[in-house]
Chain A
Amino acid sequence: MGVLRRMLARPSGAIGFAFVLLHLAAAVLSPWLVPYEATAIDAALMFAPPDAAHWLGTDQLGRDILTRTMLGGREALLVTLIATPLAVGWGALVGIHLGLAGGRLDDVLMRVVDAVLALPWILKMLVIIVTFGAGVTVLVPTLAFFYGVPVIRVARAATLGVVARDFISAARARGHRPGAIVRRELLPNVLDALMVEGAMRWSWMLLAFSSLSFLGFGVAPPTPDWGLMIADSRSFMAIAPWAAMAPVLALSTLIIGINFVADALAKAVGLDRALNAPH
């Protein structure tokens, strides 16, 4: 656990970790903590500014913004927390395999990876969502699939860096089976890169998820969701600026928290995160 301690020793790591923990706690506990019903409409209370009853005010339908903000990250976190390990898992599996095998298969599959990466993310996502809807059961596999593709590249590059080293040659020359070499020799040495990659994928996925909601393709109203809340409140920004602020802050602190963690993690394990690219 030396890595965790070194990560938390950096101010950015500690702050980021605190943000992330806070959000996770809020997501789990919010149903018991929120003061109001998330979908309770109160026409009399439209655009109420923050006061003692509604700490963060109300929105265009008189719904309590604190309640909706506290609940608004639950679906995003649920989807991305399942999809991230899946994406990193399958991407790493394929990437490590390609890095080890090399040759014709690697040449061909890396072209396919490039081709998938060349297509705009919104097209890829929307083609699926428009057809199958934006439920959790659609979003999880879709995000896991598309966000696993760039992981292939990262895992393959990390693998190639390790495979060239003599301890892998030594294990090969001894005659260990490929599975054993991957498990015992390779994985411990690419795990750092995959961990950092995982943290980053998580943040990109959250970004994609809330962007979809914001664009109206994600979570369906009236379910509370930050992206959706920001989109809704934009039209009323001149008269009720507080309606946008709460979800803006919530989403930002979560994503910044994750990125601080990823950054501190990368520094703690000695990787240069600036060299990773999004999408």
Chain B
Amino acid sequence: MKIAGDDVPLIGITDLSVGFTTRAGVVAPVLRNIGLVVRRGETVGLVGESGSGKSTLALVAMGYLKAGLRVLGGGVRFAGQDMLAGDGVAAIRGGRLALIPQNAGQALTPTIRIGAQIAEALRLHSTLPRADHAARVVELLARVRLPTPGALVTRYPHELSGGQQQRVAIAMALAGEPEALLLDEPTTGLDVTTQAHVLELLRDLAASSGMAMVYVSHDLGAVARVCARVAVMYAGEIVAEGSARQILRTPSHPYARGLIAAIPVLGEARLPVPLDGRPPAPGAVGEGCSFAPRCGLAEAGCLTARGALVPAPGGGVVRCRRADAAVRLPMRRDGALRLALEFDGGGGVLGLDAIAVSYARRSLWDQITRAPRDAAPVVDGITLTLRPGETIGLVGESGSGKSTILKSIAGLIGPLRGSIDLAGVALAPRVAQRDVGVLRRVQLIFQNPDESLNPRQTIAEILAQPLGLYFGLSGAALRARSIELLAQVRLGGHYLDRLPAQLSGGEKQRVAVARAFAADPDVVLCDEVTSALDVSVQAAVLGLLDDLRRERRTACIFVSHDLGVVRALADRVVVLYQGRICESGPADAVYGLPSHPYTEALLGAVLEPDPDHAPRLLAADIVEHGPPARGCAFQNRCHRRLGGICATDAPPAHEIGDGHVIRCHIPPATLAAAQAAP
């Protein structure tokens, strides 16, 4: 094996450009003049939003080009070996240079047992004698902290949870004892508590093995936790590079600053600062600075000449002519503090009383054998009251039942038990039984606008649905009202004739917001409305929602897995685990102490874009597929579990004051004392 001297970088990318040829025959670059050097043992973060080219760059580093792409210039070397040459590349891939993919669930071969997949990597890249492979596989599984590694060997990938699949992918990458790991969004899609565990594992591996890491992510918090050096990508080029501290604390590129300012702050009820505009389509960049069209500091020169990477005022290098001015742009804690709403003493606009929902469907066989009905419904005992103009945040990880609750309010799923009322009048359980006038008052906004907007309808037709149904608008009146609605979500009237596919993700979600507000609703139900969006776009949609509900005093139930996003918008917060309420109360109280152990674990696992912030790993890292039939829903993962009582009795609701309720067998005072201790 050829050992490169210290002078040869482990990964050396020089002036690399990659692109594709459009149907019109034009060469469109996806990566432009990338220069990146990774030395032994270094941890480098590649940060950017969707379409920035960061994943393409990571794959090119392995000598792999996605279909249709070709190298336009420059080179990639791994320890001196040309990765674009073809010869000898396969021996390096998966061995000295290994990839950890974004979605391990899809990247592991579904028909091969986990043990065999890792053993395959050993066979290809390890010098270990064949006889020792089986033992080594178990060792690797143990090294990525998987429980019962011996038993996992014979499992298939789909039998594992997302976090476990990701660990298997890491174990597979480690099999060849790599000198460098490429990590392509390795924790995206994982729950926040699982993500924190996986990141700690990666940090420890980097520290203990001396492996170099290239960590590709849109998440500045994850990068801050793992990487010493960070490169920020925008529209296929590196716009800033420096130490993690330089980039995160004193970024001198306007885009990097904007990106950081757009991240919600956990500690305060503050709206993040949005970045206006949208990034150029891949390949569609002109002569000047690619960020200039969105940049508040852009001057005439920015539009004509693309800058070179120059030393930045805050350290590192930056591709910006106005870097000196950029360091004075607003940062993360400069967003507007959200104003608390005044509530009149009146009753609630929406009330849920002990709602339970079950998805269990009985097959023909179940009916014949009279199998018992669902004993532990996915959602149970949900009681809450929404006041006019108020925003309640429903927080929880996947499987917490938060979306299910919204669907049952909207009447899409009939609840198993319990009742819902709208301003004191009982709502029929299903949509079909509800009056159109009642339906108008409750509107739903979905997570992914690609799914919630009919791809075959123009924006005009989409907006015409509620306007026609609820207000009977047509013709010129309909068009005028539609333009008015688009203006409210800051889109021009010319969007009316477009199809959703012609809009960006953020624009589509604004149309979805406009469609909901077209009904002039009393209550808007928001289901993870920003989680499909990039962080800069998310900030804009959050600001828009806050403006709209403020202007119209629309009450809102805002469902999210992201505690920062909920903090930015919610007056009150309800924390859910496995379809049961753990804690509820005013946002300040829920985000403060004392906390339910699950809230404590969630808050502890949140990552901050700050190199000095360390998450606390509290909850056991296991995945549950359903609530337990008895006792506390959180009993199996709780780090403060008392014992038998947690498994047998439903936890009591302790009211601490001002509507702050914690459902736990541990008294709030005891919790407060334990949590205040360092």
Residues in A lying within 8 Å of B, measured CB to CB = 107, 165-167, 169-176, 184-185, 188-189
Contacts and interface: CB of A to CB of B under 8 A. Distances in A.
B411 interface: yes
B368 to A, nearest CB: 13
B36 to A, nearest CB: 37
Q: Which 4 A-B pairs have the closest CB atoms?
A: A175-B439, A188-B456, A166-B452, A166-B451
A167 B446 CA distance: 9
29 contacts: A107-B364, A166-B446, A166-B448, A166-B451, A167-B453, A167-B454, A169-B412, A169-B444, A169-B446, A169-B452, A170-B444, A170-B446, A170-B452, A172-B412, A172-B431, A173-B443, A174-B443, A174-B469, A174-B519, A175-B434, A175-B439, A175-B440, A175-B469, A184-B454, A185-B457, A188-B454, A188-B456, A188-B457, A189-B456
A96 to B, nearest CB: 15
B431 A167 contact: no
A276 to B, nearest CB: 22
B659 to A, nearest CB: 29
A150 B653 CA distance: 57
B466 interface: yes
**Chain B binding site: helix, strand, loop or mixed by DSSP?**
mixed
B85 interface: no
B444 A185 contact: no
A176 B466 CA distance: 9
Interface in B493-521: 515, 519
Contact of A174 (B447, B456, B466): B466
Contacts of B442: 173
Contacts of A184: 454, 457, 461, 465
Interface in B442-488: 442-444, 446-448, 451-457, 461, 465-466, 469
Contacts of A185: 454, 457
A176 B469 contact: yes
B436 interface: yes
Nearest to B364: A107
A176 B465 contact: yes
Contacts of B349: none
Contacts of B46: none
B119 interface: no
A173 B431 CA distance: 6
A173 B411 contact: yes
A173 B457 contact: no
A84 B454 CA distance: 29
Contacts of B448: 166
A83 B525 CA distance: 48
A72 to B, nearest CB: 41
Given A170-B444, A173-B444, A174-B439, A165 B451 contact: yes
Interface of B: 364, 407, 410-412, 431, 434, 436, 439-440, 442-444, 446-448, 451-457, 461, 465-466, 469, 515, 519
B410 A173 contact: yes
Contacts of B515: 170
Contacts of B452: 166-167, 169-170
B470 to A, nearest CB: 8
Contacts of A172: 412, 431
Contacts of B411: 173
A185 B461 CA distance: 10
A170 B434 CA distance: 15
A151 to B, nearest CB: 21
Nearest to A178: B432
A170 B446 CA distance: 8
B16 to A, nearest CB: 33
B406 to A, nearest CB: 10
Contacts of A174: 439, 443, 465-466, 469, 519
A107 B367 CA distance: 13
B436 A171 contact: no
Nearest to B363: A107
Contacts of B444: 169-170, 173
Nearest to A175: B439
B485 to A, nearest CB: 15
A166 B410 CA distance: 13
Contacts of A170: 444, 446, 452, 515
Nearest to A103: B361
Nearest to B447: A166
Contacts of A171: 465
B456 A173 contact: no
B454 A175 contact: no
Nearest to A191: B456
Contacts of A176: 465, 469
Nearest to A185: B454
B412 A189 contact: no
Contacts of B519: 174
B455 to A, nearest CB: 7
Nearest to B445: A170
Nearest to A188: B456
Nearest to B430: A172
- Which of A107, A170, A171 has most B Cβ within 10 Å? A170
A63 B434 CA distance: 72
Nearest to A173: B410
Contacts of B465: 171, 174, 176, 184
A173 B439 contact: yes
Contacts of B364: 107
A165 B449 CA distance: 11
A40 B469 CA distance: 66
B403 to A, nearest CB: 11
A167 B451 contact: yes
A189 B431 CA distance: 23
A189 B439 contact: no
Contacts of B454: 167, 184-185, 188-189
Contacts of B451: 165-167
Contacts of B457: 184-185, 188
B501 to A, nearest CB: 12
A176 B440 CA distance: 11
A184 B461 CA distance: 9
Contacts of B440: 175
A173 B469 contact: no
A107 B362 CA distance: 12
A248 B431 CA distance: 58
B166 to A, nearest CB: 27
A211 B413 CA distance: 50
Contacts of A165: 451
B519 to A, nearest CB: 7
B402 to A, nearest CB: 16
A171 B519 CA distance: 13
Given A173-B431, A184-B454, 6 more contacts: A165-B451, A167-B451, A167-B454, A169-B412, A170-B444, A189-B455
Nearest to B515: A170
Contacts of A173: 410-412, 431, 439, 442-444
Contacts of B412: 169, 172-173
Contacts of B455: 189
